[in-house]
C-alpha cells in the first residue's frame, strides 16, 4: 500500500463580536476579554490535510498553515503510510528549514489508526480509553463573573476548572481565583495556567522571575490549587527544578515543547530530581537497617496497598518536605509502573536497598 496524494486546503474562521481594539465577547461568554487579545487579527486560518492511499483509505488532519510544504509532496507520495518514524524525520527537516507542517503528521496518525483498526491513543501507548476532563477558560473576567462561570461549569458536571493568569499583576489574578474558591468551595478542583512559558507576537512582557513564581506558588497552595502551569519561561529548566524543590504545589509545563531534545532535557531533569529523592531515601533506610521492595502488578487494589506502604516510608524518612512532594514522587513511580507492566509485560519491581549505597 502506498500514499497516492497529499492534499491541503486553507480556510478562515472569523473572530466574532469585535467591540474594539483588544476586546471581544464570544458566544456563550459571561462577559470579559480573552487572555490573548484578538486585536492583531480578525480571522484565524487553518489547514485541512488529507492523505489518500491506493486502498481508498484517507487520513485527515488539521492545524497551522503548512508554510514551506509546497514542493515537498513527492517526499511522501508513493511511500508506505505506516512508516511514521520516516515521515516524522522528513517533517522535522521541513520544520527546521521552513515551517511547522505537523497537520500532515496528524493526518498520517489518523490514517494509521484507520488502516490498523485501532484508535490513535492506543497506537501511542495509551492504557485506558478514559481520561478525566476539566473545563478551561481563556477569558479574563472580573472576580464575580469568574466565580459565576465556575459555578456554571460545576452545574454542567465538570470536576475541575483551569483558570488562566494574565492580568498584568498576578495579585489581581489571585483575587479572581480566591473569588472562585469562595464560590465553589472544595466541590471543584482548580488549576492555574500562569502563561509564562511563551508569548503571542505582540506581547513583550517579561516572564516571571523565580521569586515571583515562588510567591505565586505560596498563594496557590493556600487556595488548594491542584497544579500551576508554566510559571516560568519554557527554557528555564534550572528555575523549574528549583521551584519544584521549594514549593509544595505540582508544577506543569511543556505545552510548547516540540523538539525531541527538549523533551529529553525535561525528562532528564525530572529523573535527576526523582533519583536524588530515592537515593536520599535509601541512605535514610541504611540508618534504619531496612530494605524496601515495591512490587506493582495489574491488580489495582494490591498496587494501591503497596503505594500506601511506600508513602508511609517516605513520610517516616523525613527526606521529603510535604505530602504534595510525596505525591509527585509516587506519581512518577506509578507512571514508570504503567509503562512497564502494560497488558502482558510482567511486574515492576522498585527496590530501594541501603546495602547498595557505597
Regions of the chain where pLDDT drops below 50 = 13-31, 38, 296-298, 337-358
CATH no. of 3-123: 3.30.390.10
Taking the alpha carbons at both ends of the chain, their separation in whole angstroms is: 57
pLDDT value at residue 321: 57
pLDDT value at residue 328: 64
Spell out the domain ranges in the chain.
3-123, 135-257, 261-356
3-123 and 135-257, same CATH topology: no
pLDDT value at residue 117: 93
What are the tens digits of pLDDT across the range 207-265?
999 999 999 999 999 999 999 999 999 989 889 888 887 888 888 888 888 887 888 78
Q: Which stretches within the chain are classed as H helix?
A: 84-97, 102-116, 120-123, 143-155, 170-184, 210-222, 237-246, 260-288, 300-317, 323-341
Fold (CATH) for 135-257: TIM Barrel (3.20.20)
CA 245 from chain centre, in angstroms, equals 20
pLDDT value at residue 245: 79
Amino acid at each position: 500500500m502506498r500514499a497516492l496524494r497529499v492534499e491541503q486546503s486553507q480556510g478562515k474562521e472569523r473572530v466574532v463580536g469585535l467591540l474594539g481594539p483588544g476586546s471581544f465577547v464570544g458566544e456563550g461568554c459571561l462577559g470579559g476579554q480573552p487572555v490573548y487579545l484578538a486585536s492583531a487579527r480578525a480571522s484565524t486560518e487553518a489547514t485541512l490535510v488529507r492523505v489518500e492511499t491506493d486502498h481508498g483509505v484517507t487520513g485527515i488532519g488539521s492545524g497551522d498553515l503548512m508554510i514551506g510544504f509546497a514542493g515537498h509532496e513527492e517526499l511522501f507520495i508513493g511511500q508506505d503510510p505506516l512508516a511514521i518514524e520516516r515521515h516524522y524525520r522528513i517533517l522535522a527537516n521541513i520544520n527546521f528549514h521552513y515551517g511547522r507542517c505537523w497537520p500532515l503528521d496528524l493526518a498520517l496518525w489518523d490514517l494509521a489508526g484507520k488502516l490498523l483498526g485501532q484508535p490513535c491513543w492506543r497506537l501511542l501507548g495509551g492504557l485506558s480509553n478514559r481520561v478525566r476532563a476539566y473545563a478551561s477558560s481563556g477569558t479574563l473576567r472580573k472576580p464575580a463573573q469568574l466565580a459565576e462561570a465556575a459555578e456554571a461549569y460545576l452545574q454542567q458536571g465538570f470536576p475541575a476548572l483551569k483558570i488562566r493568569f494574565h492580568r498584568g499583576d498576578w495579585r489581581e489574578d489571585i483575587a479572581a481565583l480566591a473569588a472562585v474558591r469562595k464560590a465553589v468551595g472544595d466541590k471543584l478542583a482548580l488549576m492555574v495556567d500562569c502563561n509564562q512559558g511563551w508569548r503571542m507576537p505582540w506581547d513583550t512582557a517579561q516572564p516571571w522571575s523565580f521569586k515571583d513564581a515562588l510567591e505565586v506558588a505560596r498563594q496557590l497552595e493556600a487556595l488548594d490549587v491542584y497544579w500551576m502551569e508554566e510559571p516560568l519561561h519554557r527554557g528555564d529548566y534550572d528555575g523549574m527544578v528549583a521551584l519544584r524543590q521549594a514549593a509544595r504545589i505540582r508544577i506543569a509545563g511543556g505545552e510548547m515543547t516540540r523538539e525531541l531534545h527538549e523533551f529529553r532535557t525535561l525528562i532528564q531533569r525530572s529523573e535527576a530530581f526523582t533519583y536524588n529523592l530515592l537515593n536520599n531515601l535509601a541512605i535514610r533506610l541504611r540508618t534504619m537497617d531496612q530494605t524496601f521492595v515495591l512490587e506493582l502488578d495489574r491488580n489495582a487494589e494490591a498496587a494501591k496497598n503497596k503505594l500506601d506502604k511506600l508513602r508511609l516510608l517516605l513520610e517516616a524518612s523525613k527526606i521529603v518536605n510535604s505530602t504534595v512532594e510525596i505525591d509527585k514522587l509516587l506519581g512518577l513511580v506509578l507512571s514508570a509502573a504503567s509503562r512497564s507492566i502494560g497488558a502482558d509485560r510482567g511486574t515492576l519491581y522498585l527496590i530501594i536497598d541501603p546495602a547498595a549505597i557505597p
